[in-house]
Structure 1
Amino acid sequence: DVDDKTIRGAREAKVSLNNFTEPFKRGFFEDLETLRIKRADEYPGATEPRYLTRMIEMISELIKRDLAYQADDKSVYFRINKFPGYGKLAHLNLEELRPTGRVRSDEYEKENIGDFALWKAWDEADGDVGWDSPWGRGRPGWHIECSAMATTLLGDQIDIHCGGVDNIFPHHEAEIAQSEGVTGKKFVRYWLHCAHLLVDNQKMSKSLGNFYTLRDVTAKGYSGREVRYALLRVHYRAQLNFTFEGMEESRQALTRIDEWLQRLRQTSASGAPGKRVGPVPTNDFQSTLDDDLNISGALGILFESIRETNRAMDANELDTYGAKAWLQWWEEVNQVLALEATQTMALPPEIETLAEARGIARLANDWQKSDELRRELNARGWEVRDTKDGQKITRRAGIKP
């Protein structure tokens, strides 16, 4: 996102835009590893040449269809009154549309107050950030960046598009208008919008002193999987209230899972007679998640299963085969939840070689090579965490040796 904040930050730091944003990108990928989030196949950058080319192509097509125009200030805007479906996602009354937030920042010299910028003409505040285009030197608007990258990688139509509730308007509304304005096809079939994160029942902000990064939380002694559990246990459309009391509850919940797995493995290895307890709720867990990602219901099934099997083991009623069936079910569940504690083990020689090469790359500040080797390790089932004591390599949850 080439926006005013990053441009201003780069100018104040007297570095290029890419050098200014690089530490944030690197931190983002490190946080993914800490939270055990699977990497996407692509992480497009809006300023990559092929995406800039696509943006210019899309804007040209919108102008050709009279859905966009170049104003006197040389910026290019989308005509919302020419696109009949504008406002359908956010259920807007266009007559009541008023300039606020991002809309105001795109104001300039527009035909209509609701028109949004597709291409912003260069000015002195942009410094050396700008690209040549048929409309003069400038930079893309933040909406067209996403449409260009999405349609380049995923095609004209997308099955699922995610984002925060604050992205519904104007960002996602603009994405729909400009994408469908170019292709004539429905842009997205399903929208998934997550609610805001609260901290101690308040909006997280530095001014309130309740602003935490992931590193702040792990520095207090909490693990990445404890944070992961705290974040995933609430439905995505419900506001999540982060508290350190909640982090303690997450720790206790994971301890219950760990102790349950230890008992199941002991029972599985013991050859103990008894009776199977089940059947395991494979279909129930899956169908519950199929219901709009009902994670609360799915976790309810997990902990009810833990209670049921613990009672059976207390009464010596769970046999070896029953324990193995439950462990197999857990393997399937953990492929989704990724909550099992990673086990410390000797690194295979080829993994150790990759890890050493990555360590050398980091010492040389070769971040591109470091990220390539991290992806290679991740693809082989190993999780990499960078700490003050160096990198830590562990087998990723849900991956068998």
Structure 2
Amino acid sequence: MTQKQTQNFAFALTVMFVVSFLLGFITTMNNSMINFCKAAFNLDAAQGQLVNTAFYGAYILSIPLALLMNKLGYKKTLVLGIGIIGLGFILNFFSIGQFAGTAAIYYVFLGCMFVVAIGIVFLQLVTNPYVKALGPQDSAPSRMTLNQTLNSLATTLAPMFVSILIVSNNNEAPTAEAIKTPFLGLGLFTLLLGLILMFLKLPSIKEEEQPTDSGEVKQYHKSIFKYPHIFLGALGIFFYMGVEIGIPSFLPQRMEGLGLTSAILIPEFISDFFTFLGMNMTEATSILVLYWFGMLVGRAFGSFILGKFDSKKVLVAAASLSVLCVALSLVVDGPLTIWLLILTGLFHSIMWPCIFNLGLEELGPHTKAASGIINTGVIGAAVLMPLMGVIEDGVGLKAVFACLFIYYIYIMWFTWKGSQIRIKH
């Protein structure tokens, strides 16, 4: 690799890190608004989870959007995705004013967030294979985890954004009007970012020309269906979304059921600091900052750990520790229950890049299309969250958290067995 190539890759990685920050911020902001939406739109648990369904349901389009990315290339796909995100936020700004006070307003809100999510899918399709391709194969898990670290920084800030600018600024009963100004700001910022990126140069990556470690050009199957680990990886992401999004989606309800608030759980000096920033510490949603902060810490250290240890062993260890935390949370009461669930964020932190990387191994020219297939697995949050909401309404919250064991077991099986399945030439 020449010095010029290295410099180009460093610049391109920096751009991808900025995009990952935006991606993480918007995704977690959406999830953090569930409790607010339930109050503002008078929803039950299952209806509240439609926020996740509308957003993550857009990932069903991952495959056709990946095929479009094959034609457009990385940069045009990146700019298009950012433009669609900006359009979705601005549509929400005008639509909420137009439909205020009507029965349709919640579904109009969901529709606009679906538009935002289509743009997010484009960004997801670009960032993962591009970051994977921008450097040596053996350092891909570490590089992707570093990318996810910036994503996690955004996910830590997003609940604060919701609490300060939407929840705390809404002094009376929660209404949809509270999201108009923040959403307009996000829309304008995103469109400006897309305009800037239009004039930036990014390197062109041709996966089919990447050599193996021995320096030889690898031969690949003509059909992507000859690589079953892609589809098993997509199912791995499907179940991973059940744990990453499932815990913060139902954690506030668990707190409320135990009669706890964020102010009770968080040390006083930290609670005072959050209050100074404008966060409402009587809202259970505020505690989600700590869950996403755990993801941030885990990914920051995970980048180093994955550079030193086998990613499969790290992933299985993380899943096992998560199982232990969830199991203990079901048999204890009080604040410890919540802290155990928050702790899972630390262990979830390295799962996405490891699962994704295992699903993209040894694919060459099929990498872009495979990224679309694996990204389809994100619909797990759209499918599993409402199902878990129905379970909460019908059985209770402990049954919801017990569902997580199924998801963890599949992730561990894919890591050791499913990711190794190949069809020989």
TM-score, normalised by the number of residues in structure 2:
0.24
More helix by share: 2
Determine which structure has more spread, i.e. the larger CA radius of gyration: 1
More strand by share: 1
